[in-house]
Chains A and B, each alone.
Chain A
Amino acid sequence: MSLLEVDQLSVDLVAQGAPVRVLDRVELAIDAGQVHALVGESGSGKSLTALSVARLLPDTLTRRVAGTVRFDGEDVYGLDPAGLRRLRGRGVGYVFQEPSTALNPVMRIGTQIREMLQLHRPKEATDAVVWRWLERVGIPSPDIRARQYPHELSGGMQQRVMLALALSAQPRLLIADEPTTALDVTIQAQVLDLIQSLQRELGMAVLLITHNFGLVGEIADRVSVMYAGQVVERGPVSAVLNAPRHPYTAALLGSVPRLGDVRESLVVIPGTVPSPGHWPGGCRFHPRCSRATPGCATDQPAWREIAPESWVRCPYPVEVQS
């Protein structure tokens, strides 16, 4: 059994008074100790998937949740308030995409970490432990930094404070939504080493949302690719990056800039991701797909296993070249 199992998860939100489906039959499975990357273009539903998994979408926004989310065998949407408190913190640690939404602007960052420890690791709620966590995420002079407010820190520091906050509870699953976007490569390397060492020491699993394929290749075991509220491909990291099967994954990988690249313009996938409420019929990617057939406009592709561990939502997957 996986630590996290998401089965046919569909979510409707209320936007401007009307319900709109934002996630559609999302599938996900993460084993203990595994790093699972979630990728896909902006607006494809990655953050909403992660928020739904941790049951962090506000009730006022949520109209309907169908399907199941199981964490350690327990139905997340069946938990009582006490169960939810246990889930968040020690069960699931969450690093939000934008620091400004997650850090309390009027509380010193050291106090914020200390409160987290008080709640989930009370024996460790000391200044020394707080400083140690700040140090581990690469923040120098932690004793002075601990006394500062979020706005006195740089963007990348705020991001790392959020990571220290989530990690200090030593969760079994870390959900990290773009945790390194504001970080330069050297700090990024340090933060990744930290995540990897905790993963080994504590058997922590990671759901890593990122658009950085370099990062995916370096630390993930598996990858899921999202498009328009659905997972369209899943597989071992080497298979997906080196031989993508869904035309969308292939197109996405084709637009990655590399050092030493001298192309005048970068390759883009024509068109934009349709937003919720405007998803086309049939395969959602068909209007932008170079391999689309007339059938793609009408038939919903099934989610199927085309090779061991490799799943794809496309009837005409890209052939594997040998």
Chain B
Amino acid sequence: MSLLLVEGLKVHYPARPDWRGRPRAWVRAVDGVGLEVAAGETLGLVGESGCGKSTLGRAIVRLETPTAGSIRFNGEDLAGLDGPALRRARRGLQMIFQDPYGSLDPRWTVGQAIGEGIDIHGLIQEHGARRERIGGLLQDVGLDPAVADRYPHEFSGGQRQRIGIARALAVEPKLIVCDEPVSALDVSVQAQVVNLLQSLQRSRGLAYLFIAHDLAVVEHLSHRVAVMYLGRIMELGPSRTVCGDPLHPYTRALLSAVPEPGVRRRERVILQGDVPSPLQPPSGCPFHPRCPVAVARCRSEVPEFREVAPGRSVACHEVKERFGAS
């Protein structure tokens, strides 16, 4: 059984209210997403800015109420729960936020912020042991245990990000939704945090939904990767094969745009056409206006998300099935 099973998930926001306050348009931030995460697995989630990654992550930990669909965690559907039932079911599910400053209460010391979860779930009662645990977590993310008494504003951006990571790890979750957890970090600390996440996964069987736009990091860390576009999953498969041999034209474009270290002013395949708006999504395949291989059918017919090779699924009319072939 999978640890997390998301089916048909939609999150729509009202936009452009008229004078009565009724929405004239909807932002289809997440528009029918299905995915699965096994215990001890890392699923990477990539896609352009605004495609709905954070919204999907927030909906999974139920910080956002889904418009439709189900979110099964440990077999229980979180979508319909609220109040104490939700809090109980959600134990074991944590989130690391994209904006560390916005997610830390400025009036709380770092120690209080990290200790909150420990107290809520009554994990450690004894004062000395609690303090030791907080210190250990800070050390794990490359911070001095002595900083527990300081306030968020006294830290650099990257340090605040790591405080958020320590806070998520404190309650020993089973699954962490990591929203861009390392993009604000420099390469060395990034490596340290990535190594920490991996070793926790090995020792405790932690699973991650790892949201990032850096494909190199995602490839390194994830077992499988999902590529999202305008609220939908376009391609999903083992990360080495998706990054090494992308099938969807969108994935190919994303990969060609990755800059490499060293001075090499190389031509990038910048995607053609305007970045689409979830406020005015295109008909048919949402990617067709920018797609180099689009045909007439792509304009009218939404491509089905189907398995085209063992373990690999794609939503594209033009991708041929590869079963049996090599």
Q: A144-B16, A185-B215, A217-B263 are in contact. Are A154 and B191 (CB under 8 A)?
A: no
Q: How far is the CA of A221 from the CA of B15 in the complex (A)?
A: 43
Assess the B279–A238 pair: CB atoms within 8 A: no
CB distance from B221 to the nearest CB of A (A): 9
CB distance from A57 to the nearest CB of B (A): 12
Residues of B within 8 A of A322 (CB): none
Within 8 A of B (CB), among A172-222: 177-178, 181-190, 193, 211-215, 217-218
The 0/1 profile, CB within 8 Å of A marked 1, for residues 252-295 of chain B is 01110111111111001011001111011000000000000000
Task: Name the residue of chain A whose CB is nearest to the CB of B50.
Answer: A154
Assess the A182–B261 pair: CB atoms within 8 A: no
Within 8 A of B (CB), among A240-265: 241-242, 251-253, 255-261, 265
Q: How far is the CA of A275 from the CA of B13 in the complex (A)?
A: 43
Assess the A181–B54 pair: CB atoms within 8 A: no
A15 CB within 8 Å of chain B: yes
The 0/1 profile, CB within 8 Å of B marked 1, for residues 252-295 of chain A is 11011111110001111100100100100000000000000000
Assess the B275–A187 pair: CB atoms within 8 A: yes
Total count of chain A residues near the partner, CB < 8 A? 69
Q: A211-B186, A255-B188 are in contact. Are A184 and B213 (CB under 8 A)?
A: yes
Task: Name the residue of chain A whose CB is nearest to the CB of B52.
Answer: A154
Q: A144-B25, A182-B49, A211-B187 are in contact. Are A218 and B259 (CB under 8 A)?
A: yes
Q: Which of A140, A241, A268, A278 contacts B191 (CB 8 A)?
A: A268
Q: A241-B263, A259-B260 are in contact. Are A154 and B219 (CB under 8 A)?
A: no
Assess the B260–A211 pair: CB atoms within 8 A: no
Q: How far is the CA of A259 from the CA of B220 in the complex (A)?
A: 8
Within 8 A of B (CB), among A126-166: 138, 140-141, 144, 147-148, 152-157, 160
Q: How far is the CA of A190 from the CA of B262 in the complex (A)?
A: 20
Residues of B within 8 A of A144 (CB): 15-16, 25, 277, 279
Query: Which of A1-9, A77-85, A95-103, A307-315 lies at the interface with chain B?
Result: A95-103
Q: A184-B46, A184-B213, A266-B194 are in contact. Are A217 and B262 (CB under 8 A)?
A: yes
Query: Which of A26-34, A39-47, A109-117, A297-305 lies at the interface with chain B?
Result: A39-47
The 0/1 profile, CB within 8 Å of A marked 1, for residues 33-50 of chain B is 000000000000011111
Assess the A43–B159 pair: CB atoms within 8 A: yes
Residues of A within 8 A of B74 (CB): none
CB distance from A284 to the nearest CB of B (A): 15
CB distance from B130 to the nearest CB of A (A): 22
Residues of B within 8 A of A147 (CB): 16
B184 CB within 8 Å of chain A: yes
Name 13 A/B residue pairs within 8 A (Cβ), A-sorted.
A140-B275, A152-B13, A181-B180, A181-B183, A186-B270, A217-B263, A241-B262, A242-B263, A252-B188, A257-B191, A257-B194, A259-B243, A265-B195
A153-B50, A217-B262, A265-B198 given; name 14 further pairs at CB < 8 Å: A16-B150, A42-B159, A42-B189, A98-B160, A154-B50, A182-B183, A213-B261, A242-B263, A256-B187, A257-B220, A259-B243, A259-B255, A266-B194, A272-B143
Which 7 pairs of residues, A with B, have the shortest CB-CB distance?
A42-B158, A156-B49, A214-B259, A266-B191, A211-B186, A184-B213, A100-B102
Residues of A whose CB lies within 8 Å of any CB of B are 15-16, 39-43, 46-47, 97-101, 138, 140-141, 144, 147-148, 152-157, 160, 177-178, 181-190, 193, 211-215, 217-218, 237-238, 241-242, 251-253, 255-261, 265-269, 272, 275, 278
